[in-house]
Structure 1
Amino acid sequence: MRFLTWLVTTAVSLATAAWLIEGISFTGATSGRAEIEDKILPLLLVSLILGVVTSLVKPILTLLSFPLIIVTLGLFLVVINAAMLKLTAVLADAVDLGFRVEGFWSAVFGAVIITVVTYLVDGLIGEDRR
């Protein structure tokens, strides 16, 4: 159940970022029921890719950039999160999921939105973490 909650939460945050940021998008229909049908499976798969990338690559990158994180008082973590989002887009493009992140600033703002929305949705769901 926890995995499913995490997957849906990440999918909601990715969908929000794609909706709010012009440089983040999913290919497919652009309105109505066809949009939902075209994008729901790619959205869930991209959420899964983002989770794997965040679990495997981010800790290594965070450890290697620890001095920069200290010097920037933690702000470099936003750049690392943006890099994880961009890497997710590259991997999703490699398997033809139709997820695009164009440009550094789109990745940065997308990472911030994903972080905030994930926090808010987790708070709304209120899953018991025991």
Structure 2
Amino acid sequence: MSGFLIRLLINALALIITTFFVPGLHLAGVTAAIYAALVWGIVNTLIRPIFSFFTFPLQILSLGIFTLVINALMLALTAKLVSGFNIYSFSSAFFGAIVLSIVSMILTHLFK
């Protein structure tokens, strides 16, 4: 259970940091970041594998680059589901997903 909470807080912190670097992403506060991190985890666990399965041919044709589009769509879906987390354009979601992945990876490495 503590591993889940640590991962949730790391993702919330990564979301907060990402909003500072990517224009077009907006978080209303820390509670919105925690809710967004929770929804982000659920979306990536339940919906992303299904979406990846059906877009597998596109991923093969694009040599995996389409995975970045899937990440952006999952981030946009998270923003739609969480009040207080807004994304203003697809390009913001696209670059936000890239920055979020990098920041999350760095924070996970630092806290392990």
TM-score with structure 2 length normalisation? 0.95
Aligned to 1:108, which of 94, 99, 103? 94
| Equivalent in the alignment of 2:45 | 55
Deviating above 6 A after TM superposition, structure 1's stretches of 4 or more consecutive aligned residues are none
Aligned-pair distance for 1:79?
Answer: 0.3
Deviations, residues 27-68 of structure 1 (Å, cap 9, x unaligned): 3xxxxxxxxxxx111110111011111111100000000011
Distance in 2 between the 1:90 and 1:80 partners? 15
Deviations, residues 50-104 of structure 1 (Å, cap 9, x unaligned): 1111111100000000011111111110000000000001111xxxx31101111
Cα root mean square deviation, aligned = 0.8
SS of the residue aligned with 2:43? helix
AA partner of residue 48 (structure 1) = L
| Consecutive unaligned residues in structure 1, runs of 5 or more | 28-38
Higher radius of gyration, 1 or 2 = 1
Distance in 1 between the 2:60 and 2:17 partners? 30
TM-score with structure 1 length normalisation? 0.82
Aligned to 1:75, which of 42, 65, 69? 65
| Equivalent in the alignment of 1:98 | 84
Residues matched between the structures, number: 111
Percent sequence identity is: 35
Distance in 2 between the 1:17 and 1:121 partners? 12
